[in-house]
Each structure stands twice: as structure tokens, then as C-alpha cells.
Amino acid sequence: MEAPVYGSIILAGILLKLGGLGILRLNPTMTSYLTLNSFIVVSLLSVALVGATCLYTTDLKKIIAFSSVSHIAFTIIFIIRINKVRGVSCIVIIIAHAFRSSGMFLIVYIFYLSTHSRNILVNRGILVVYPHITFL
């Protein structure tokens, strides 16, 4: 969480997606239902724990980072239970997530430059100051 914004953008834009694509490439080699179901259980457990963590965290950068990990866990679940429609939709989700999460880190950086805080309570009314960011 102490990484610079550019590091967070690279992490969100590239590195998390490599994990999802790695699972996509390994999926045809995994044939055991026990292994596949254990991946699903671990992914669902991580989504629940990350969601609970996001409920009490007030740092915007942490919330974006944790929710990015949660979204990639959902795509892992969809990749494991793959058919043609899910496979294509997972690839689209991974590509769209790369741009969305990187853009959100950039928006939080813009908020930080104006208020010198990443706290969600301090930045509560910041969209009044920057109404064009509401569109993004």
C-alpha cells in the first residue's frame, strides 16, 4: 500500500491479470474435480474475507486494491467452470478490469493531490470539486 501510484497502476493493470491468464492456461490440464472444487472454495473464501476487509477500511487505495483481488477471484471461478461463453466473458472482464482499476488508482491520486489524504471520509465531497471525474 506504500507503493507509488505508478506501481499500483502497473500492478492492477498487468500483474493481477497474469494470474488470471495463468489459471486459464492451466485449466485444461486440471482434470480432478477435487482440485477444481478446492480452487473454487479458496476463491469464494478469499472473496468473502476481502469483502469483509473492505467494509471497515477507510483508505481508498486499499479498497481499490482489495476489490481488484476480489474481482480476479471471481474470474478464476468462472474460468474453472469454463465453456465458450464463460471463457470469452472472462477474457473481456480481465481486459476491462485492467483499464478500470488503473483508472481508479489514477482518480484516487488526483483526490490525494487536492486533499493530501486517501481517507474516504475526508474525500467524501470531492466529486463536487471535480464533477468531470464523476463520469469516469
Q: What is the pLDDT of residue 9?
A: 72
Report the 3 state secondary structure along 29-88. Answer: HCCCHHHHHHHHHHHHHHHHHHHHHHHHCCEHHHHHHHHHHHHHHHHHHHHHCCCHHHHH
Residues in CB range of 121: below 8 A, 6 or more apart: 58
Each domain of the chain, given as residue ranges in start order, spans 5-134
Percentage of the chain with pLDDT > 90? Answer: 2
pLDDT(80) > 80 = no
Mean of the per-residue pLDDT values of the chain:
79
pLDDT(52) > 70 = yes
What is the Cα–Cα distance from 115 to 56, expressed in whole angstroms?
21
Q: What is the pLDDT of residue 45?
A: 92
83-120 pLDDT tens trace: 666 777 777 887 888 788 888 888 888 888 888 888 88
> Grid coordinates 486440471 are at which residue?
30
> Grid coordinates 489524504 are at which residue?
117
User: Which of these, 125, 120, 128, 87, lies nearest to 104 by C-alpha position?
Assistant: 120
pLDDT(1) > 70 = no
pTM for the model: 0.77
> Average pLDDT for residues 10-34, to the nearest whole number?
72
Per-range mean pLDDT, top range of 4-13, 51-60, 62-71: 51-60
Q: What is the pLDDT of residue 113?
A: 87
